[in-house]
Chain A
Amino acid sequence: MATKREPERFTISIGPQHPALKEPGSFQFTVDGEIVTKAYVRLGYAHRGIEKAAEQRNWIQDLYLLERVCGICSHIHATAYCLAVEQLAHVEAPARAQAIRVLVAELERIHSHFLWIGVSAHEAGFETLFMYSWRDRETVMDLLEGLTGNRVNYSANILGGVKCDINNEQTTAILDGISFLEERARHYFDVLTNDAMFLQRTRGIATMSRTQAEVMGAIGPTARASNVARDVRVESPYAAYKQYPVKMALDTRGDLEARFVVRVNELFESFRIIREILATLPETELAARFPRRVPAGEVVMRVEAPRGELYYFIKSNGSDKPERLKVRTPTICNMTSVIKLAVGHQLADVPMILAGIDPCFSCNDRTVQLKDAGNQASTMLMWEELRLHGIQYYQGLNK
């Protein structure tokens, strides 16, 4: 009589120096052959205690601290914080300042999405696309530098308004820059939806139904690719989004390809908004006077970061420092979906599934340890090798 043999299971740990940029996380995937059967996440390797630090600094110092929560979407953090504190202090930033906030936010979204196209292309082994999209991203980085003086932490916001104005030369430069980027985005759209090799890595992979996305609390482009109409810019317009309404990019398919389509469509929407803002920029002051102390109260501020809803909660006790400040970044919400979606997929697809939510990526060294339960032998795979394994796996299917 044959004895039933327990299937051999390996636990592969990825990280802590792992793909999620801002939060290098440790992932553990239990695999049965090539199929992931269980996934587990552990975060906090980049936990800097910013919420605690914010309680010990005054309102102005916090602006600079919070802009450094994330290196890619730094402007949106500062915007969320400024809008929240302005609401507490009953100060409203002038119209021109609000428009410039939106302008910089949209430029930042373009920069973030181009970066993401490159990163995902790299994970799929499409190095040419990676190189081109990052080359093009330099255009928008230069525009941001020309506008604010910085490439990363733009520091465009101050409490009560913005610091930087836009002159005619800058307007021309931005218009020229986005014309070039729009043409490139069209080309990428064509590549991402027609390239047979690339589609093999994206079409029908990590499909998330609308119900799943809602239950797991997915947000941002990840949710919109599953036809969940959730975009703070549309639902609850902040800053100047009331004057410059956004058309939400949605897709019904819910797979990785849909996430590409949604993000590229968002790029086109960003180009349109930027042109509209530059054509109708209101002529007002750049900033309103802001008090040193902020009245006691609580405020919830939600804004749309490139990766999804960014949430700020601030409680003031009437002093020059916040009593409590809570930041919830989009990646943490979408992480639940990665954990659930990875189950049932090929190990080779894991890098793409992770890249699909656009986690914040910090490219340190990454290790994969393949443990063999039977003979205790273990092989170490660097992230690079896992990536190559993914590429070779799919090339093998082609033959």
Chain B
Amino acid sequence: MNSEEILTLASGIVQSWDWATEISRPNPKQLDVKVNVLQELVPIVVGLRVKRLGYLSAIVCLDGGPETNDMEVLYHFCPGDAIIALRVHVPRDGGTLPSLCEVVPGAEVFERELREMFGIEITGLHTPDRLYLPDDWPAGVYPMRKDFDPKMLSPRP
């Protein structure tokens, strides 16, 4: 399949049923899918996997900063030459996302990273422990957020 065929197939999947998705094509090889209802995220990924488009390259979180109370999470699926980006918005305070690890086992490391670096709660993680941050890192301090300041860390005793 070339990238055009992959993206046509993927647009079909993400627009099936009554899913509240919006699609756009920022460049010829990329399909951006705005997922407006969180519950639809996992079924969409199942759909992509069934059609063998479910190779997840990475999950990226973009923090909008403290003034917006908004974070955007990007799931980049990269089958062949194409890029399918699922975009989800979550609030900065108490944002929760469903885990993909039942469908895409490799997603777990990225989700654990989201959890500790950005403070997004992930439901259904197999191992919700810390992955990168040290054991004595203070709770509620998320280093990849825009308003992180090293002063938030209490000085070492």
Q: Which residues does chain B contribute within 8 Å of A309, judged by CB atoms? A: 57, 78
* Residue pair B108, A217 in contact (C-beta under 8 Å): no
Instruction: Select the stretch in A46-54, A179-187, A257-265 that faces chain B.
Output: A46-54
User: Is A230 in contact with chain B by the CB < 8 A criterion?
Assistant: yes
Instruction: Select the stretch in A128-136, A277-285, A329-337 that faces chain B.
Output: A329-337
B83: contacting residue among A44, A49, A52, A300, CB under 8 A: A300
Q: Which residues does chain A contribute within 8 Å of B99, judged by CB atoms? A: none
User: Is A302 in contact with chain B by the CB < 8 A criterion?
Assistant: yes
How many angstroms from the CA of A43 to the CA of B110 in the assembled complex? 12
Q: Which residues does chain B contribute within 8 Å of A230, judged by CB atoms? A: 55
How many angstroms from the CA of A108 to the CA of B29 in the assembled complex? 28
> Which B residue's beta carbon lies closest to that of A223?
B55
Q: Quick one: which of A2-50 are within 8 Å of B by CB? A: 40, 42-44, 47, 49
* Residue pair B130, A42 in contact (C-beta under 8 Å): yes
| B-contact bits for A308-342, CB 8 A (1 contact / 0 none) | 01010101000000011010100011011000100
Q: Which residues does chain B contribute within 8 Å of A378, judged by CB atoms? A: none
B132: contacting residue among A44, A214, A215, A298, CB under 8 A: A44
A326-B60, A328-B58, A333-B106 known; A42 and B131 CB under 8 Å? yes
A residues engaging B (CB < 8 A)? 40, 42-44, 47, 49, 51-52, 214-217, 230, 235-236, 298, 300, 302, 309, 311, 313, 315, 323-324, 326, 328, 332-333, 335-336, 340
| A-contact bits for B67-97, CB 8 A (1 contact / 0 none) | 0000000101010110101000000000000
B131: contacting residue among A43, A235, A336, CB under 8 A: A43
Q: Which residues does chain A contribute within 8 Å of B57, judged by CB atoms? A: 300, 302, 309, 311, 328
Least Cβ distance of A360 to chain B in Å? 15
> Which B residue's beta carbon lies closest to that of A44?
B132
| A-contact bits for B122-157, CB 8 A (1 contact / 0 none) | 000001011111100000000110001000000000
> Which B residue's beta carbon lies closest to that of A298?
B26
* Residue pair A42, B105 in contact (C-beta under 8 Å): no
> Which B residue's beta carbon lies closest to that of A40?
B127
User: Is B104 in contact with chain A by the CB < 8 A criterion?
Assistant: yes
* Residue pair A336, B60 in contact (C-beta under 8 Å): no
Q: Which residues does chain B contribute within 8 Å of A333, judged by CB atoms? A: 106
Question: Could you write out 15 A-B pairs with CB less than 8 Å apart?
Answer: A40-B127, A43-B132, A44-B131, A44-B132, A44-B133, A49-B143, A52-B144, A52-B148, A215-B105, A300-B85, A313-B60, A328-B57, A328-B58, A336-B109, A340-B105
User: Is B30 in contact with chain A by the CB < 8 A criterion?
Assistant: yes
A44-B134, A336-B109 known; A217 and B81 CB under 8 Å? no
How many angstroms from the CA of A51 to the CA of B143 in the assembled complex? 10
